[in-house]
Every structure is written in C-alpha cells, then in structure tokens.
C-alpha cells in the first residue's frame, strides 16, 4: 500500500484535495510518506466526485486542502473527502486547512450578517471531522468555533528566521498595518530583539469589500528598516497603502511579511509598485507564475505542517513546536 506509515496499530494517511497538490506532496515528503492516490473530478454540472483508491479503514487521516480561489469549490471538495473517509471507516479525521476559509468573517460588523467562519467549522464537524489544524487564523479566538481539538500553528518561526537574515536587527521597527494586529506585531518585536513598534491608522468602508485607506503612522519609523507584518495579503490594498505611508514618513525601507499570500487581483501590481524592498509570504496557498514578481519570496510551510501532523499522530505536543507559547 502507498501513502501509509504504520506505528504499531496506528496508520497515518495523508489525503489531499486538488487545490494545491504541491503543498500536500511537500508535506508527504517531510513525513516520508506519499499522498494517498485519490480519484477526483467534476461532473458537467459542477458537482464533485471523490474516491480513495485504497482502503482507509482504521486510519488516522489528515485531509489537506488549500482554500484558494475558487474557494467554495475547494471547501466543498474537502467536505466531501471527509464524508468519504467517515463512511469508509477512517478512525480519526483531521482537517488540515493551512488557510482557514472565510476566516475574516468571524464576527458581525453589521446587523443581518453571517458569521461564516463559524459556519465553516460547523460544516467540517458535520461532515465528520474530529480535529482541525490551521495556520495563523485571522482571529485566534476562532479556534473556539470548532467543537473539538484545534491545532493553531504559527508561521512566525519560519518567517522570523528568514527576516533576521534580511535586515539589520539593530535598526528595525516592526509595523502593524492596523491597530487590530498590534499584539501580533508585538510578538514579532520581541522575536527581533525588542524592536520598536508602530502601527498604521487604517480606516475601512464596511459597505465596500477590499477598500482600505492608510491614514498615518503611529510611532517613530524615521530612518528604520520597517518589517510590516500581516496575516494575509488579499488585493494588496492594505499593504501597498501602508508601505507608501511608511516611506513618506521617513522609513529607510520596508520588508513586507505575511503568512497567507491570497494575492487576488490587482495585488501583484500593487505590491510590485508600492516601493517595498521585498514581500515575503508562505505557500499556505498556491501562487501561480502569473501572480509572482521579482520582489516576492515564498517560504515553505510544509516542514511545519509535517511536524505538527507527526506530533498529533504520535500523541506528542504541538505546543512544543512553539516553545510552549500559545
């Protein structure tokens, strides 16, 4: 059989949706296993068919899907895979959603809105998921939406190691692109030797999607290399505006760091023209050649996912991967 590690009675299988097979394969390589061969295709009317080509009975199954565009299709595919695993008697099913779908809709901003991030958790649970693993949730408290164990991984160790090699740590300021993410920036500042903090005063029109205006910098960035940290870059509006305001406020230069490179149009153009020295993301989402640009660096999240999967499978400690921090 392919795709299976055995440890006594336990068997680990890694299955993948079609959104980002390269990531699943990279995780499999780290785990020294293969992704389970799976048949998946779309019917003419858009309905999805999935079948695992080998037995999954009694397995500890990890279902990786990368929630990229078209996100609703990939959500549905992952749900169908979970259902198939449950009906084929997998012993335990873990959803691995490196970028949690609908993460930004985690509360009602206005009356009569949904809380879509909660709905996603309910759908995973109803389909048959026992646990959930994700990276850098937009709001950490969304862990509570899922009725079961959630492994919330941080990309920070991967990103910090890289950034340290790219800046003069003694002359860095860590910048949050809005006031809401200042706690995350604070963690970055600690990791970068107690660097000073700043944030951008940003306003949003809640009636119009993806429109952000960076008003001014709060904090001193004069002459500093700014590390601008966010959880995700979607259309690039937030980051491009922030970079411009930082440079206009005397920053020496700006390196942008984000876990999830959603990069919806026109992000590539905005980011390549905004004046940032470098834009660093991970591969929680696939980044097509058309979306790439000279200043973009993509780091692999596969080793971190694989280590976390290994800890879960071995009943070890995922927290130990992050120096005990939560």
- The H or E element containing residue 242 is helix 237-248
- Compare residues 53 and 210 and give the one whose CB is closer to ligand R5P: 210
* From candidates 17, 28, 128, 236, binder to ligand R5P by CB under 6 A: 236
- Compare residues 86 and 104 and give the one whose CB is closer to ligand R5P: 104
Q: Are 34 and 28 in contact (CB under 8 A)?
A: yes
Up-side HSE of residue 117: CA atoms within 13 Å toward CB? 20
Report which DSSP code applies to 83.
H
Select from 43-51, 85-93, 164-172, 228-236 the region that touches ligand R5P (CB under 6 A): 228-236
Neighbours of 193 (CB within 10 A): 10
Quick one: angle between helices 182-191 and 156-164, nearest 10?
50
Kindly report the length of the chain.
Answer: 326
Is residue 231 near ligand R5P by the rule CB under 6 A?
yes
* From candidates 63, 184, 232, 256, binder to ligand R5P by CB under 6 A: 232
Is residue 238 near ligand R5P by the rule CB under 6 A?
yes
Tell me how far, at minimum, the Cβ of 263 lies from ligand R5P, in Å: 9
Q: Which of residues 239-258 bind ligand R5P (CB under 6 A)?
A: 239
* From candidates 23, 63, 96, 212, binder to ligand R5P by CB under 6 A: 212
* From candidates 136, 228, 234, 279, binder to ligand R5P by CB under 6 A: 234
Annotated catalytic residue within 107, 202, 252, 295:
202
Task: Compute the distance between CA of residue 1 and CA of residue 35 in angstroms, rounded to an integer.
Answer: 11
* From candidates 98, 177, 219, 261, binder to ligand R5P by CB under 6 A: 177
Tokens of 292: 């790439």
The DSSP bridge partners found for residue 290 are: none
* From candidates 33, 235, 282, 284, binder to ligand R5P by CB under 6 A: 235
Q: Is 202 a catalytic residue?
A: yes
Select from 6-14, 69-77, 118-126, 236-244 the region that touches ligand R5P (CB under 6 A): 236-244
Full DSSP string of 269-290:
HHHHHS--SEEEEEBTS---GG
- The H or E element containing residue 156 is helix 156-164
The DSSP bridge pattern shows strands 278-282 and 253-261 to be parallel
Tell me how far, at minimum, the Cβ of 177 lies from ligand R5P, in Å: 5
Up-side HSE of residue 288: CA atoms within 13 Å toward CB? 10
The residues that are catalytic are 202
Footprint of ligand R5P (CB under 6 A): 104, 177, 210, 212, 230-239
């Amino acid at each position: 059989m392919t795709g299976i590690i055995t440890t006594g009675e336990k068997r680990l299988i890694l299955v993948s949706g079609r959104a980002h097979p390269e990531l699943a394969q990279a995780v499999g390589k780290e785990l020294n296993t293969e992704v389970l061969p799976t048949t998946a295709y779309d019917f003419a009317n858009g309905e999805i068919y999935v079948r695992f080509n080998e037995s999954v009975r009694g397995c500890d199954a990890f279902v990786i899907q990368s929630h990229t565009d078209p996100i609703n299709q990939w959500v549905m595919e992952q749900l169908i895979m979970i259902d198939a695993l449950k009906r084929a008697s997998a012993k335990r099913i873990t959803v691995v959603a490196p970028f949690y779908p609908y993460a930004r809709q985690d509360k009602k901003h206005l009356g009569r809105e949904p809380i879509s991030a909660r709905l996603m958790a309910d759908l995973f649970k109803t389909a048959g998921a026992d646990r959930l693993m994700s990276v850098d949730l937009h709001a950490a408290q969304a862990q509570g939406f899922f009725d079961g164990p959630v492994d919330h991984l941080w990309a920070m160790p991967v990103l910090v190691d890289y950034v340290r090699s790219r800046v003069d740590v003694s002359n860095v300021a860590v910048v949050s692109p809005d006031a809401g993410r200042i706690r995350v920036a604070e963690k970055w500042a600690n990791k970068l030797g107690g660097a000073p903090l700043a944030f951008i005063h940003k306003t949003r029109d809640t009636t119009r999607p993806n429109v952000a205006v960076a008003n001014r910098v709060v904090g001193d960035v004069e002459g500093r290399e700014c590390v601008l940290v966010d959880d995700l870059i979607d259309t690039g509006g937030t980051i491009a505006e922030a970079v411009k305001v930082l440079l206009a406020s005397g920053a020496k230069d700006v390196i942008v760091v984000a876990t999830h490179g959603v990069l919806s149009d026109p992000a590539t153009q905005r980011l390549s023209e905004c004046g940032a020295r470098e834009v660093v993301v991970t591969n929680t989402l696939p980044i097509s050649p058309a979306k790439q640009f000279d200043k973009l660096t993509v780091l692999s999240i596969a080793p971190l996912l694989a280590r976390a999967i290994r800890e879960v499978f071995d009943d070890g400690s995922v927290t130990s991967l992050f120096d005990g921090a939560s």
